[in-house]
Amino acid sequence: MRVGEHNMRMISKYYTQITFDRLAELLDFPLNDMESFLCNLIVTGAITDAKIHRPSRVVNLRARKANLEQLDQWASNVHKLTETLNKVSHLILKEQMVHRNLDAMQVN
């Protein structure tokens, strides 16, 4: 079982999508037991971000991002969010000033 887990982790590094037949061939594993083996690996977390498409008998594997890459992406998203919030805040203040000036002009 441990060898199968290791081999599956290595396969997930090089493949983004693989059929059950090809996977069984690479792992030298019986095709009948492949789905339960994969489900077990996914549930235990041995392979992350994997999805099984049962009707087509295909496994979709996504490459895992490095921690630093995830952190950089998160920081970039936070930066974009703060920029958007600043723009919205500026537009709200601008709109409030316009309405204050219009109200002041109508009173005079």
**Rounded distance between C-alpha atoms, residue 108 and residue 90, angstroms:** 27
pTM of the model: 0.52
Chain segment 37-56, per-residue pLDDT in tens? 888 888 888 787 788 888 99
Judged against a pLDDT cut of 90, whether residue 91 lies above it is answered with: yes
List the CATH code of the domain at 2-61.
1.10.10.10
CB-CB neighbours of 49 under 10 Å? 12
pLDDT of residue 4: 79
Domain ranges of the chain: 2-61, 66-108
